[in-house]
Amino acid sequence: MAATGPDTPSSRAPRHTGHARMEQIARLPVFFGLEGRRVLVAGGGEPAAWKAELLSAAGARVEVIAPQVCEDLWRLAGAPPHGPIAIHVRAWHADDLDGAVLAVADGEDEGEAARFSAAARAAGVPVNVVDRPALSDFTFGAIVNRSPLVVGISTDGAAPVFGQAVRAKIEALLPTGFKAWALAAKTWRHQVTARGLSHHARRAFWERFAAKALAEPNRAPDDDDRAALFNAIETEGAAAHSGSVVLVGAGPGDPELLTLKAVRALQSADVVLYDDLVSPAILDFSRREARKMLVGKTGYGPSCKQDDINALMVDLAREGRRVVRLKGGEPMIFGRAGEEIAHCRAAGVPVEVIPGISAPQGAASRLVTSLTHRDHARRLQFVTAHARDGKLPKDLDYGALSDKVATTVVYMPRRTLPDLVRNLMAAGIDPATPAVAVFSVTRPEEKVVMGRVATLAEDVARAVDAGAEGPCLVLYGHALAEVGAGVLTPPAGAAAAG
């Protein structure tokens, strides 16, 4: 959910947080350019035949050396998929490795496999021994081929069947027509470069290209498509060179709740200005080259001043950058989006909004309950319990907030919840009205507190003492009766209290 509140004396400045650090990977995924280059394959069985076919398809000059050669290999050599395949019926020698860029051997004989691996490494040639990761410098993963679009999948030899299952899933997701689009991109690239377009204009061209490919994957692009893309960039003119601001809702925490449009915005951003409530997993969707800056606010703690955030957005956009202002939850609900939109408009900076899943929606989904009900709740209302001074707002309508046919969602209630409950009781709310408080909704550390309005403040205080952390959201109303009665259990992996 979006954070709001006063700019406290304990303020902080927006700061660059750098690129996300890559987690450890078992194997480095690389794609060798093998066109016309010599690759040695030692072995004449079925494993060697498959590797020789793959290497030939990549354009390599494959030399197979083996005392005995299977029929498949002979047939393959007679009609290779691309690069030539030569077969030498004899044992391999160390000097066969001279001039090879890669070396591959089947691993049927363990001693022979070890000798081949040692000889290749001594010659400085990267080696793969089939089904023997310890003897290999590189491995062959499962492949999805839409060349020149190629996807490689590796499990580091731990679970080849799992890798194949993932490959099948990706095969189903990637239309075969992507091959034609990838070929067109390879052909058109030099024409895009030759036009002398700016960095932003080139990126805009390829973003439009990608959008068109995704929208029409099952046909081959033609010259009319290329001309239309160039015309669109020329029509945009200065807009292709100017910066912009996009307010993006990051949702309540679970990265899988991001919208597709939000992901696309992150992947095209030059700069991402994000809040404290945005999880690292969501930032991972942004371009690795994008500059990331923390401009967050923490309730009653160090916060960036809103004026500084506004000025930073405009300054970056005026430098020609695409700025994503990434906000937790839904930016248009208690996210101070109005102030940022107004500041951009006053400065003449283009601004748009991409909505996110709100915290109440996230809470309802995790509690598996509806916030409205034909018999119990014909109105849904959102309210903040946090004014500019950090206290309960003075102009709250407690009559409306005590309405028995409404479901009420209270943002940022932690510090002011006792006062809120006291005022609701004075306004005549039913003390037994079902109430739920959710900490860190949709995140792994989520904690749910179920109870009644009359005792909710005490229930929440006990939960905090027991370790509940993160942003808190309160929901109450008779539509939540099943949750309050414990008919529905908390989501898997989430703790329950109260």
In tens, the pLDDT along 278-316 reads: 888 899 888 888 899 998 766 555 678 889 999 999 999
**Looking at the predicted structure, is the pLDDT value of residue 489 above 60?**
no
Contacts of 453 (CB under 8 A, 6+ apart): 421, 424, 425, 429, 430, 431, 432, 433, 435, 476
Phi, psi at 215, each rounded to 5°: -80, -30
Whether 401 and 446 have beta carbons less than 8 Å apart is answered as: no
Q: What tokens does 485 get?
A: 């009665």
Q: Kindly report the CA angle at 184 between 183 and 189, in degrees rounded to 5?
A: 105
pLDDT of residue 408: 97
Count Cβ atoms below 10 Å from residue 110 Cβ, excluding itself: 11
Active-site residue, from 225, 254, 275, 403: 275
pLDDT of residue 279: 84
pLDDT > 70 in the chain, percent: 91
Where does the pLDDT of residue 374 fall: very low under 50, low under 70, confident under 90, or very high at 90 and above? confident
**Looking at the predicted structure, is the pLDDT value of residue 116 above 90?**
yes
**Looking at the predicted structure, is the pLDDT value of residue 20 above 50?**
yes
What would the mean pLDDT of 244-263 be, rounded to a whole number?
92
pLDDT of residue 196: 84
What would the mean pLDDT of 28-43 be, rounded to a whole number?
94
Phi, psi at 308, each rounded to 5°: -65, -40
Where does the pLDDT of residue 126 fall: very low under 50, low under 70, confident under 90, or very high at 90 and above? very high
pLDDT of residue 15: 72
Q: Are strands 472-476 and 434-439 parallel, antiparallel or unpaired?
A: antiparallel
Lowest average pLDDT, out of 90-104, 292-306, 337-351, goes to: 292-306
Q: Is 297 annotated as catalytic?
A: yes
pLDDT > 90 in the chain, percent: 61
Active-site residue, from 51, 292, 297, 327: 297
pLDDT of residue 299: 55
pLDDT of residue 5: 43
Location of structure tokens 């194949």: 164
Measuring CA to CA, how many Å separate 316 from each of 201, 270, 273, 305, 325? Answer: 17, 9, 10, 17, 11
The residues facing 48 across adjacent strands are none
More confident residue, 208 or 423: 423
- pLDDT tens per residue across span 169-204: 888 888 889 999 999 999 999 998 888 887 778 888
The residues facing 475 across adjacent strands are 409, 436
**Looking at the predicted structure, is the pLDDT value of residue 16 above 90?**
no
Measuring CA to CA, how many Å separate 432 from each of 447, 449, 480, 481? Answer: 22, 15, 12, 10
Report the distance separating Cα 110 and Cα 135, nearest Å. Answer: 10
- pLDDT tens per residue across span 57-82: 999 999 999 999 999 999 999 999 99
Lowest average pLDDT, out of 86-90, 240-244, 345-349, goes to: 240-244
Where does the pLDDT of residue 376 fall: very low under 50, low under 70, confident under 90, or very high at 90 and above? confident
What would the mean pLDDT of 469-485 be, rounded to a whole number?
86
CATH class of 360-497: alpha beta
Report the distance separating Cα 198 and Cα 234, nearest Å. Answer: 12
Give the rounded distance of the alpha carbon of 474 from its chain centre: 28
Listed residue (437, 447, 455) closest to 496, CA to CA: 447
Mean model confidence pLDDT for the chain: 88
CATH architecture of residue range(s) 38-173: 3-Layer(aba) Sandwich (3.40)
Q: State the pTM of this model.
A: 0.66
Where does the pLDDT of residue 494 fall: very low under 50, low under 70, confident under 90, or very high at 90 and above? very low
**Looking at the predicted structure, is the pLDDT value of residue 482 above 50?**
yes
CATH architecture of residue range(s) 242-357: 3-Layer(aba) Sandwich (3.40)
Domain boundaries, the chain: 38-173, 179-237, 242-357, 360-497
pLDDT of residue 7: 43
Q: Is 72 annotated as catalytic?
A: no
Where does the pLDDT of residue 51 fall: very low under 50, low under 70, confident under 90, or very high at 90 and above? very high
Report the distance separating Cα 155 and Cα 369, nearest Å. Answer: 39
pLDDT of residue 12: 67
pLDDT of residue 301: 56
pLDDT of residue 22: 67
Report the distance separating Cα 26 and Cα 318, nearest Å. Answer: 42
Report the distance separating Cα 443 and Cα 426, nearest Å. Answer: 35
Report the distance separating Cα 87 and Cα 112, nearest Å. Answer: 19
